[in-house]
Structure 1
Protein backbone atom coordinates (compact mmCIF):
# COMPACT_ATOMS: atom_id res chain seq x y z
CA UNK A 1 0.00 0.00 0.00
CA UNK A 2 1.18 3.51 -0.82
CA UNK A 3 0.60 6.06 1.99
CA UNK A 4 -1.20 9.30 1.09
CA UNK A 5 -1.47 11.80 3.94
CA UNK A 6 -4.51 14.02 3.50
CA UNK A 7 -7.34 15.74 5.40
CA UNK A 8 -10.45 17.60 4.28
CA UNK A 9 -9.42 20.24 6.80
CA UNK A 10 -6.88 21.46 4.25
CA UNK A 11 -9.84 22.72 2.22
CA UNK A 12 -10.65 25.17 5.03
CA UNK A 13 -7.77 27.51 4.20
CA UNK A 14 -10.22 29.61 2.20
CA UNK A 15 -8.45 31.84 -0.32
CA UNK A 16 -11.52 32.22 -2.54
CA UNK A 17 -12.46 30.54 -5.81
CA UNK A 18 -10.55 33.05 -7.94
CA UNK A 19 -7.23 32.75 -6.12
CA UNK A 20 -4.87 30.34 -7.94
CA UNK A 21 -3.98 28.50 -4.73
CA UNK A 22 -7.47 27.39 -3.68
CA UNK A 23 -9.13 24.32 -2.23
CA UNK A 24 -10.11 23.05 -5.68
CA UNK A 25 -6.52 21.99 -6.23
CA UNK A 26 -6.80 19.28 -3.59
CA UNK A 27 -10.25 18.25 -4.75
CA UNK A 28 -8.84 17.72 -8.25
CA UNK A 29 -5.92 15.65 -6.98
CA UNK A 30 -8.15 13.49 -4.81
CA UNK A 31 -10.53 12.83 -7.71
CA UNK A 32 -7.66 11.91 -10.02
CA UNK A 33 -6.19 9.49 -7.49
CA UNK A 34 -9.51 7.84 -6.73
CA UNK A 35 -10.01 7.16 -10.44
CA UNK A 36 -6.48 5.82 -11.01
CA UNK A 37 -6.30 2.13 -12.01
CA UNK A 38 -4.35 1.36 -8.84
CA UNK A 39 -6.57 3.40 -6.49
CA UNK A 40 -7.09 0.35 -4.26
CA UNK A 41 -3.36 0.37 -3.50
CA UNK A 42 -3.53 3.76 -1.79
CA UNK A 43 -3.64 4.02 1.98
CA UNK A 44 -5.28 7.32 2.89
CA UNK A 45 -3.96 8.50 6.25
CA UNK A 46 -5.09 11.49 8.31
CA UNK A 47 -2.36 13.78 9.65
CA UNK A 48 -1.68 13.89 13.36
CA UNK A 49 -4.07 16.45 14.91
CA UNK A 50 -2.43 19.59 16.26
CA UNK A 51 -4.07 18.87 19.62
CA UNK A 52 -2.23 15.55 19.78
CA UNK A 53 1.16 16.87 18.65
CA UNK A 54 1.89 20.56 18.44
CA UNK A 55 4.36 21.31 15.64
CA UNK A 56 5.26 24.64 17.25
CA UNK A 57 8.57 23.49 18.83
CA UNK A 58 9.91 22.54 15.40
CA UNK A 59 8.34 25.56 13.74
CA UNK A 60 10.09 27.82 16.25
CA UNK A 61 13.44 26.38 15.17
CA UNK A 62 12.67 27.69 11.69
CA UNK A 63 10.40 30.71 12.05
CA UNK A 64 10.62 33.90 14.07
CA UNK A 65 8.18 33.69 16.99
CA UNK A 66 6.87 37.15 16.22
CA UNK A 67 5.94 36.03 12.72
CA UNK A 68 4.12 32.95 14.03
CA UNK A 69 2.19 35.17 16.42
CA UNK A 70 1.42 37.62 13.60
CA UNK A 71 -0.20 34.85 11.54
CA UNK A 72 -2.16 33.55 14.53
CA UNK A 73 -3.47 37.00 15.46
CA UNK A 74 -4.39 37.88 11.87
CA UNK A 75 -6.39 34.66 11.58
CA UNK A 76 -8.09 35.27 14.93
CA UNK A 77 -9.11 38.74 13.78
CA UNK A 78 -10.89 37.32 10.75
CA UNK A 79 -8.03 37.21 8.26
CA UNK A 80 -6.32 39.50 5.79
CA UNK A 81 -3.28 39.64 3.54
CA UNK A 82 0.37 39.03 4.39
CA UNK A 83 1.23 40.37 0.95
CA UNK A 84 -0.68 40.94 -2.27
CA UNK A 85 -0.75 37.21 -3.05
CA UNK A 86 -0.85 35.54 0.34
CA UNK A 87 -4.18 35.33 2.13
CA UNK A 88 -4.99 34.52 5.74
CA UNK A 89 -8.53 33.39 6.59
CA UNK A 90 -9.94 32.63 10.06
CA UNK A 91 -8.87 28.96 9.87
CA UNK A 92 -5.52 29.49 8.14
CA UNK A 93 -3.25 29.31 11.19
CA UNK A 94 -4.62 26.00 12.44
CA UNK A 95 -4.83 24.53 8.94
CA UNK A 96 -1.25 25.54 8.18
CA UNK A 97 -0.12 23.94 11.44
CA UNK A 98 -1.95 20.76 10.44
CA UNK A 99 -0.13 20.91 7.08
CA UNK A 100 3.18 21.06 8.97
CA UNK A 101 2.10 18.01 10.97
CA UNK A 102 1.26 16.21 7.72
CA UNK A 103 4.78 16.82 6.38
CA UNK A 104 6.25 15.61 9.69
CA UNK A 105 4.03 12.53 9.47
CA UNK A 106 5.40 12.00 5.97
CA UNK A 107 8.92 12.02 7.36
CA UNK A 108 8.03 9.53 10.08
CA UNK A 109 6.20 7.30 7.59
CA UNK A 110 9.11 7.21 5.13
CA UNK A 111 11.65 6.58 7.87
CA UNK A 112 9.63 3.73 9.35
CA UNK A 113 8.84 2.01 6.05
CA UNK A 114 11.87 2.86 3.96
CA UNK A 115 9.40 3.56 1.17
CA UNK A 116 7.94 6.72 -0.42
CA UNK A 117 4.77 8.52 0.62
CA UNK A 118 2.88 11.58 -0.60
CA UNK A 119 1.63 14.51 1.50
CA UNK A 120 -1.35 16.25 -0.10
CA UNK A 121 -1.61 19.36 2.05
CA UNK A 122 -2.01 23.11 1.75
CA UNK A 123 -1.12 25.91 2.17
CA UNK A 124 2.21 25.35 0.39
CA UNK A 125 5.44 26.46 2.01
CA UNK A 126 8.59 26.80 -0.09
CA UNK A 127 8.47 30.61 -0.40
CA UNK A 128 8.03 31.26 3.34
CA UNK A 129 11.19 32.60 4.95
CA UNK A 130 11.93 32.73 8.66
CA UNK A 131 10.04 35.92 9.40
CA UNK A 132 7.66 36.33 6.46
CA UNK A 133 5.17 34.42 4.38
CA UNK A 134 4.87 35.12 0.66
CA UNK A 135 3.91 33.59 -2.66
CA UNK A 136 0.84 31.76 -1.24
CA UNK A 137 3.05 30.19 1.48
CA UNK A 138 2.71 30.56 5.25
CA UNK A 139 5.18 28.13 6.89
CA UNK A 140 8.25 26.49 5.39
CA UNK A 141 6.92 22.92 5.29
CA UNK A 142 9.85 21.25 3.52
CA UNK A 143 12.48 22.91 5.72
CA UNK A 144 10.56 22.02 8.88
CA UNK A 145 10.27 18.44 7.61
CA UNK A 146 14.03 18.31 7.07
CA UNK A 147 14.69 19.47 10.62
CA UNK A 148 12.14 16.95 11.88
CA UNK A 149 14.13 14.23 10.11
CA UNK A 150 17.35 15.39 11.77
CA UNK A 151 15.55 15.40 15.11
CA UNK A 152 14.64 11.76 14.44
CA UNK A 153 18.35 10.99 14.30
CA UNK A 154 19.04 11.09 10.56
CA UNK A 155 22.41 12.48 9.55
CA UNK A 156 21.86 13.61 5.95
CA UNK A 157 18.72 14.98 4.30
CA UNK A 158 18.25 16.20 0.74
CA UNK A 159 15.49 18.50 -0.51
CA UNK A 160 14.67 18.58 -4.21
CA UNK A 161 12.35 21.36 -5.35
CA UNK A 162 10.97 20.80 -8.85
CA UNK A 163 8.27 23.48 -8.57
CA UNK A 164 8.53 25.99 -11.42
CA UNK A 165 9.29 28.75 -8.90
CA UNK A 166 12.49 28.87 -6.87
CA UNK A 167 12.08 27.71 -3.28
CA UNK A 168 13.63 30.84 -1.84
CA UNK A 169 12.29 30.24 1.65
CA UNK A 170 13.52 26.69 1.85
CA UNK A 171 16.97 27.67 0.62
CA UNK A 172 17.28 30.61 3.01
CA UNK A 173 16.47 28.37 5.96
CA UNK A 174 18.59 25.29 5.16
CA UNK A 175 21.62 26.69 3.33
CA UNK A 176 23.52 27.17 6.60
CA UNK A 177 23.08 23.55 7.70
CA UNK A 178 25.76 21.11 6.43
CA UNK A 179 23.43 18.15 7.10
CA UNK A 180 20.93 19.34 4.48
CA UNK A 181 21.38 19.63 0.72
CA UNK A 182 18.96 21.69 -1.36
CA UNK A 183 18.47 21.52 -5.12
CA UNK A 184 15.99 23.59 -7.12
CA UNK A 185 15.06 23.53 -10.80
CA UNK A 186 13.04 26.62 -11.65
CA UNK A 187 12.05 28.92 -14.47
CA UNK A 188 14.12 32.09 -14.76
CA UNK A 189 13.22 34.89 -15.01
CA UNK A 190 10.21 34.16 -12.82
CA UNK A 191 8.85 34.89 -9.33
CA UNK A 192 10.45 35.37 -6.80
CA UNK A 193 13.58 36.38 -8.72
CA UNK A 194 15.98 34.32 -6.63
CA UNK A 195 17.80 31.04 -7.24
CA UNK A 196 20.83 32.11 -9.25
CA UNK A 197 23.31 29.39 -10.14
CA UNK A 198 25.98 31.29 -8.22
CA UNK A 199 24.15 30.62 -4.94
CA UNK A 200 25.80 27.49 -3.53
CA UNK A 201 25.16 27.67 0.22
CA UNK A 202 27.63 28.00 3.07
CA UNK A 203 28.71 24.37 2.72
CA UNK A 204 28.40 23.92 -1.05
CA UNK A 205 25.06 22.36 -0.17
CA UNK A 206 22.87 24.32 -2.61
CA UNK A 207 22.42 23.65 -6.32
CA UNK A 208 20.24 26.04 -8.30
CA UNK A 209 19.39 25.22 -11.90
CA UNK A 210 17.59 28.14 -13.59
CA UNK A 211 15.65 27.06 -16.67
CA UNK A 212 14.59 29.25 -19.59
CA UNK A 213 10.92 29.84 -20.47
CA UNK A 214 9.65 27.42 -23.09
CA UNK A 215 11.87 24.57 -21.89
CA UNK A 216 10.63 20.98 -22.25
CA UNK A 217 11.57 17.55 -20.98
CA UNK A 218 14.44 17.58 -23.48
CA UNK A 219 15.97 20.39 -21.41
CA UNK A 220 15.17 18.86 -18.01
CA UNK A 221 16.38 15.33 -18.68
CA UNK A 222 20.10 16.11 -19.08
CA UNK A 223 19.95 18.35 -16.01
CA UNK A 224 18.57 15.49 -13.95
CA UNK A 225 21.11 13.01 -15.29
CA UNK A 226 24.19 15.23 -15.20
CA UNK A 227 23.57 17.54 -12.26
CA UNK A 228 20.55 16.83 -10.02
CA UNK A 229 21.01 13.11 -9.41
CA UNK A 230 24.81 13.27 -8.93
CA UNK A 231 24.41 16.19 -6.48
CA UNK A 232 21.83 14.24 -4.44
CA UNK A 233 23.44 10.80 -4.71
CA UNK A 234 26.95 11.80 -3.66
CA UNK A 235 25.52 13.07 -0.37
CA UNK A 236 24.08 9.57 0.32
CA UNK A 237 20.95 11.00 1.97
CA UNK A 238 19.07 9.12 4.66
CA UNK A 239 15.91 10.82 3.36
CA UNK A 240 14.87 12.74 0.27
CA UNK A 241 12.16 15.39 0.60
CA UNK A 242 10.63 16.60 -2.64
CA UNK A 243 8.85 19.94 -2.88
CA UNK A 244 6.50 18.56 -5.50
CA UNK A 245 5.13 21.50 -7.39
CA UNK A 246 3.45 20.79 -10.72
CA UNK A 247 3.25 24.28 -12.17
CA UNK A 248 5.96 23.63 -14.76
CA UNK A 249 3.28 21.98 -16.91
CA UNK A 250 2.58 23.60 -20.27
CA UNK A 251 -1.07 24.23 -19.34
CA UNK A 252 -0.30 25.92 -16.03
CA UNK A 253 -1.32 29.61 -15.94
CA UNK A 254 1.57 30.69 -13.70
CA UNK A 255 4.57 29.48 -15.70
CA UNK A 256 6.18 29.48 -19.10
CA UNK A 257 7.72 25.99 -18.96
CA UNK A 258 6.28 23.25 -21.20
CA UNK A 259 6.43 19.98 -19.30
CA UNK A 260 3.72 17.32 -19.55
CA UNK A 261 2.22 15.37 -16.62
CA UNK A 262 3.88 12.12 -17.71
CA UNK A 263 7.29 13.79 -17.37
CA UNK A 264 6.94 13.61 -13.59
CA UNK A 265 6.99 9.83 -13.86
CA UNK A 266 10.52 10.10 -15.23
CA UNK A 267 11.56 12.59 -12.53
CA UNK A 268 10.26 10.20 -9.88
CA UNK A 269 12.11 7.25 -11.38
CA UNK A 270 15.34 9.25 -11.24
CA UNK A 271 14.74 10.08 -7.58
CA UNK A 272 13.94 6.48 -6.64
CA UNK A 273 17.43 5.67 -7.88
CA UNK A 274 18.83 7.90 -5.13
CA UNK A 275 16.73 6.40 -2.32
CA UNK A 276 13.29 4.89 -1.85
CA UNK A 277 12.92 6.80 1.40
CA UNK A 278 11.15 9.79 -0.16
CA UNK A 279 8.57 12.26 1.11
CA UNK A 280 6.69 13.97 -1.72
CA UNK A 281 4.94 17.11 -0.46
CA UNK A 282 2.63 19.25 -2.56
CA UNK A 283 3.71 22.77 -3.48
CA UNK A 284 2.37 24.54 -6.61
CA UNK A 285 0.30 23.48 -9.61
CA UNK A 286 -2.72 25.52 -10.68
CA UNK A 287 -4.24 23.83 -13.72
CA UNK A 288 -6.56 21.22 -12.22
CA UNK A 289 -6.41 18.53 -14.96
CA UNK A 290 -2.63 18.53 -15.32
CA UNK A 291 -2.14 18.82 -11.56
CA UNK A 292 -4.17 15.67 -10.95
CA UNK A 293 -2.51 13.75 -13.77
CA UNK A 294 0.96 14.79 -12.57
CA UNK A 295 0.36 13.49 -9.05
CA UNK A 296 -0.98 10.26 -10.58
CA UNK A 297 2.20 9.99 -12.68
CA UNK A 298 4.37 10.51 -9.58
CA UNK A 299 2.66 7.92 -7.41
CA UNK A 300 2.29 5.53 -10.35
CA UNK A 301 6.06 5.54 -10.82
CA UNK A 302 6.52 4.62 -7.16
CA UNK A 303 4.03 1.74 -7.40
CA UNK A 304 5.57 0.40 -10.59
CA UNK A 305 9.18 0.46 -9.41
Structure 2
Protein backbone atom coordinates (compact mmCIF):
# COMPACT_ATOMS: atom_id res chain seq x y z
CA UNK A 1 0.00 0.00 0.00
CA UNK A 2 3.05 2.21 0.21
CA UNK A 3 5.72 2.87 2.82
CA UNK A 4 3.62 5.31 4.85
CA UNK A 5 0.26 3.52 4.79
CA UNK A 6 -0.78 2.42 8.32
CA UNK A 7 -1.88 -1.02 7.06
CA UNK A 8 1.52 -2.66 6.65
CA UNK A 9 3.37 -5.88 7.58
CA UNK A 10 5.46 -4.00 10.13
CA UNK A 11 2.44 -3.96 12.43
CA UNK A 12 2.77 -7.74 12.82
CA UNK A 13 6.51 -7.35 13.40
CA UNK A 14 5.72 -4.95 16.26
CA UNK A 15 3.41 -7.53 17.88
CA UNK A 16 6.02 -10.26 17.52
CA UNK A 17 8.77 -8.02 18.92
CA UNK A 18 6.61 -7.18 21.95
CA UNK A 19 5.84 -10.86 22.62
CA UNK A 20 9.57 -11.60 22.57
CA UNK A 21 10.47 -8.62 24.77
CA UNK A 22 7.79 -9.53 27.34
CA UNK A 23 8.90 -13.15 27.60
CA UNK A 24 5.49 -14.40 26.46
CA UNK A 25 6.89 -15.77 23.20
CA UNK A 26 8.16 -18.85 25.04
CA UNK A 27 4.56 -19.71 25.99
CA UNK A 28 3.01 -19.25 22.55
CA UNK A 29 2.36 -22.00 20.02
CA UNK A 30 2.48 -20.91 16.39
CA UNK A 31 0.21 -22.31 13.69
CA UNK A 32 0.04 -21.83 9.94
CA UNK A 33 -3.30 -20.25 9.22
CA UNK A 34 -5.49 -21.97 6.66
CA UNK A 35 -7.54 -19.91 4.24
CA UNK A 36 -11.12 -19.36 5.37
CA UNK A 37 -13.72 -21.22 3.33
CA UNK A 38 -16.45 -19.49 1.38
CA UNK A 39 -19.02 -21.22 3.61
CA UNK A 40 -17.36 -19.75 6.72
CA UNK A 41 -17.33 -16.26 5.18
CA UNK A 42 -20.96 -16.54 4.07
CA UNK A 43 -22.11 -16.92 7.67
CA UNK A 44 -21.39 -13.20 8.18
CA UNK A 45 -20.94 -11.70 4.69
CA UNK A 46 -23.40 -11.68 1.78
CA UNK A 47 -22.45 -13.93 -1.15
CA UNK A 48 -22.61 -10.92 -3.50
CA UNK A 49 -20.18 -9.03 -1.29
CA UNK A 50 -17.72 -11.96 -1.20
CA UNK A 51 -17.93 -12.24 -5.00
CA UNK A 52 -17.33 -8.49 -5.37
CA UNK A 53 -14.20 -8.62 -3.18
CA UNK A 54 -12.88 -11.58 -5.20
CA UNK A 55 -13.63 -9.86 -8.52
CA UNK A 56 -12.08 -6.58 -7.39
CA UNK A 57 -8.80 -8.14 -6.26
CA UNK A 58 -6.15 -6.61 -8.54
CA UNK A 59 -3.57 -8.66 -10.41
CA UNK A 60 -1.12 -5.77 -10.14
CA UNK A 61 -0.99 -2.32 -8.60
CA UNK A 62 -3.43 -1.09 -5.93
CA UNK A 63 -7.19 -0.56 -6.10
CA UNK A 64 -9.30 1.35 -3.59
CA UNK A 65 -12.64 0.14 -2.26
CA UNK A 66 -13.11 3.43 -0.42
CA UNK A 67 -10.73 6.30 0.46
CA UNK A 68 -9.17 4.24 3.31
CA UNK A 69 -9.48 0.64 2.17
CA UNK A 70 -7.07 -0.50 -0.49
CA UNK A 71 -6.32 -3.88 -2.02
CA UNK A 72 -2.97 -5.02 -3.39
CA UNK A 73 -2.50 -8.25 -5.35
CA UNK A 74 -1.84 -9.97 -1.99
CA UNK A 75 -4.68 -8.49 0.08
CA UNK A 76 -7.34 -11.08 -0.72
CA UNK A 77 -5.03 -13.96 0.20
CA UNK A 78 -3.98 -12.18 3.41
CA UNK A 79 -7.63 -11.50 4.33
CA UNK A 80 -8.60 -15.13 3.69
CA UNK A 81 -5.77 -16.36 5.92
CA UNK A 82 -6.51 -13.77 8.63
CA UNK A 83 -10.10 -15.01 8.88
CA UNK A 84 -8.86 -18.60 8.62
CA UNK A 85 -6.53 -18.00 11.56
CA UNK A 86 -9.48 -16.95 13.71
CA UNK A 87 -11.42 -20.06 12.65
CA UNK A 88 -8.41 -22.22 13.54
CA UNK A 89 -8.04 -20.49 16.92
CA UNK A 90 -11.75 -20.96 17.57
CA UNK A 91 -11.50 -24.66 16.72
CA UNK A 92 -8.49 -25.15 19.02
CA UNK A 93 -10.38 -23.60 21.94
CA UNK A 94 -13.64 -25.45 21.22
CA UNK A 95 -11.80 -28.79 21.06
CA UNK A 96 -10.02 -28.08 24.34
CA UNK A 97 -6.59 -28.11 22.72
CA UNK A 98 -5.84 -24.70 24.23
CA UNK A 99 -7.51 -22.38 26.74
CA UNK A 100 -7.14 -19.20 24.72
CA UNK A 101 -6.13 -18.15 21.23
CA UNK A 102 -4.48 -14.91 20.16
CA UNK A 103 -4.46 -14.30 16.42
CA UNK A 104 -1.97 -11.67 15.28
CA UNK A 105 -3.34 -11.04 11.81
CA UNK A 106 -3.55 -8.38 9.15
CA UNK A 107 -5.66 -7.03 7.63
CA UNK A 108 -7.88 -6.21 10.59
CA UNK A 109 -11.58 -6.96 10.46
CA UNK A 110 -13.91 -5.19 12.87
CA UNK A 111 -14.94 -2.42 10.43
CA UNK A 112 -16.03 -4.86 7.68
CA UNK A 113 -19.80 -5.01 7.57
CA UNK A 114 -22.00 -7.70 6.06
CA UNK A 115 -21.98 -5.94 2.67
CA UNK A 116 -19.17 -3.38 2.88
CA UNK A 117 -15.42 -3.13 3.32
CA UNK A 118 -14.09 -0.16 5.24
CA UNK A 119 -11.34 0.98 7.59
CA UNK A 120 -8.70 -1.32 5.99
CA UNK A 121 -11.01 -4.32 6.63
CA UNK A 122 -12.15 -6.73 3.90
CA UNK A 123 -13.60 -9.58 5.99
CA UNK A 124 -14.72 -9.41 9.61
CA UNK A 125 -12.33 -11.93 11.20
CA UNK A 126 -13.87 -11.88 14.67
CA UNK A 127 -17.41 -12.20 13.32
CA UNK A 128 -16.30 -15.16 11.18
CA UNK A 129 -14.86 -16.83 14.30
CA UNK A 130 -17.94 -16.15 16.43
CA UNK A 131 -20.28 -17.44 13.72
CA UNK A 132 -18.07 -20.53 13.34
CA UNK A 133 -18.29 -21.22 17.09
CA UNK A 134 -22.08 -20.78 17.06
CA UNK A 135 -22.36 -23.14 14.08
CA UNK A 136 -20.38 -25.75 16.03
CA UNK A 137 -22.42 -25.87 19.21
CA UNK A 138 -21.56 -22.75 21.19
CA UNK A 139 -24.82 -21.37 22.53
CA UNK A 140 -23.71 -17.81 23.30
CA UNK A 141 -20.73 -15.59 22.61
CA UNK A 142 -19.35 -12.32 23.90
CA UNK A 143 -17.20 -9.99 21.84
CA UNK A 144 -15.02 -7.53 23.75
CA UNK A 145 -13.77 -4.92 21.30
CA UNK A 146 -11.10 -2.75 22.94
CA UNK A 147 -9.84 -0.39 20.24
CA UNK A 148 -9.42 3.28 19.52
CA UNK A 149 -12.07 2.82 16.78
CA UNK A 150 -15.65 1.56 17.15
CA UNK A 151 -16.13 -2.00 15.84
CA UNK A 152 -19.02 -0.94 13.65
CA UNK A 153 -18.85 -3.97 11.37
CA UNK A 154 -19.03 -6.50 14.17
CA UNK A 155 -21.92 -4.58 15.72
CA UNK A 156 -23.79 -4.40 12.41
CA UNK A 157 -23.37 -8.14 11.82
CA UNK A 158 -24.54 -9.27 15.28
CA UNK A 159 -26.98 -6.53 16.38
CA UNK A 160 -29.99 -8.74 15.60
CA UNK A 161 -28.50 -11.96 17.02
CA UNK A 162 -29.46 -12.38 20.71
CA UNK A 163 -26.86 -15.15 21.11
CA UNK A 164 -24.07 -12.58 20.78
CA UNK A 165 -23.36 -9.73 23.16
CA UNK A 166 -20.77 -7.13 22.25
CA UNK A 167 -19.05 -4.64 24.53
CA UNK A 168 -16.92 -2.06 22.78
CA UNK A 169 -14.77 0.77 24.05
CA UNK A 170 -13.48 3.37 21.61
CA UNK A 171 -12.51 7.00 21.26
CA UNK A 172 -15.32 9.29 20.19
CA UNK A 173 -15.55 11.34 18.08
CA UNK A 174 -13.21 9.40 15.81
CA UNK A 175 -13.53 7.23 12.70
CA UNK A 176 -15.97 5.65 11.89
CA UNK A 177 -18.00 8.21 13.88
CA UNK A 178 -20.49 5.60 15.07
CA UNK A 179 -21.35 3.64 18.19
CA UNK A 180 -22.90 6.31 20.38
CA UNK A 181 -26.33 4.78 19.77
CA UNK A 182 -26.07 0.96 19.88
CA UNK A 183 -27.77 -0.93 17.05
CA UNK A 184 -29.39 -3.51 19.35
CA UNK A 185 -30.08 -4.38 23.00
CA UNK A 186 -27.18 -6.86 22.96
CA UNK A 187 -24.69 -4.16 21.90
CA UNK A 188 -23.03 -2.19 24.69
CA UNK A 189 -20.82 0.68 23.58
CA UNK A 190 -18.60 2.84 25.75
CA UNK A 191 -17.49 5.89 23.77
CA UNK A 192 -14.55 7.59 25.49
CA UNK A 193 -12.90 10.98 25.14
CA UNK A 194 -9.43 11.14 23.65
CA UNK A 195 -6.80 10.27 26.24
CA UNK A 196 -9.19 8.36 28.52
Aligned equivalents of 1:143, 1:151: Cα separation in 2: 12
Alpha-carbon contact 1:86-1:137 (below 8 Å) kept:
yes
RMSD: 1.5
Q: 1:34 aligns with which of 20, 31, 38?
A: 20
Distance 2:92 2:47 in 1: 28
2:41 corresponds to which residue?
59
Correspondence for 1:108: 91
Quote the Cα distance in structure 2 between the aligned partners of 1:41 and 1:170: 30
Structure 1 residues 91 and 200 mapped into 2: Cα distance closer, same or farther (>3 Å)?
closer
Q: Distance in 2 between matches of 1:38 and 1:206?
A: 32
Gaps of 5+ in 1: 1-14, 216-305
Aligned to 1:47: 33
Number of paired residues?
194
8 Å CA contact retained: 2:58, 2:71: no
Q: Distance in 2 between matches of 1:184 and 1:19?
A: 25
Matches within 5 A, 1:97-176: 97-113=80-96, 115-176=99-160
Using structure 2 for the length normalisation, give the TM-score.
0.93
Q: Give the deviation of 1:154 after TM superposition.
A: 0.5
* Structure number with higher helix proportion: 1
Per chain length, whose mean CA-contact separation is higher, i.e. which structure has more relative contact order (CA < 8 Å, sep 6+)?
A: 1
Aligned counterpart in structure 2 of residue 208 of structure 1, from 189, 193, 196: 189
Q: Distance in 2 between matches of 1:75 and 1:211?
A: 36
Deviation, 1:38, is 4.0
Aligned CA distance change for structure 1 residues 38 and 127 (closer, same or farther; 3 Å): closer
Q: Does 1:20 align with 2:9?
A: no
- Offset at 1:141? 0.9
Deviation per CA, 1:42-62: give whole Å up to 9, x if none: 2111112x3xxx421021121
Secondary structure of the 1:194 match is coil
Indicate conservation of the 8 Å contact 2:156/2:183, yes or no.
no
2:76 is the counterpart of 1:89:
no
Q: Which runs of 5+ in 2 are unaligned?
A: none
Q: CA deviation at 1:131?
A: 1.2
- Distance in 2, matches of 1:187 and 1:91, equals 31
Q: Is the 8 A contact 1:182 1:207 kept in 2?
A: yes
Displacement after TM superposition at 1:74 (Å)? 2.0
Q: Please report how far the alpha carbon of residue 138 of structure 1 lies from its aligned counterpart in structure 2 after TM superposition.
A: 0.7
Q: Following TM superposition, by how much is the alpha carbon of 1:33 offset from its aligned partner in structure 2, in angstroms?
A: 1.7
Q: For the pair shown, which has the larger CA radius of gyration, 1 or 2?
A: 1
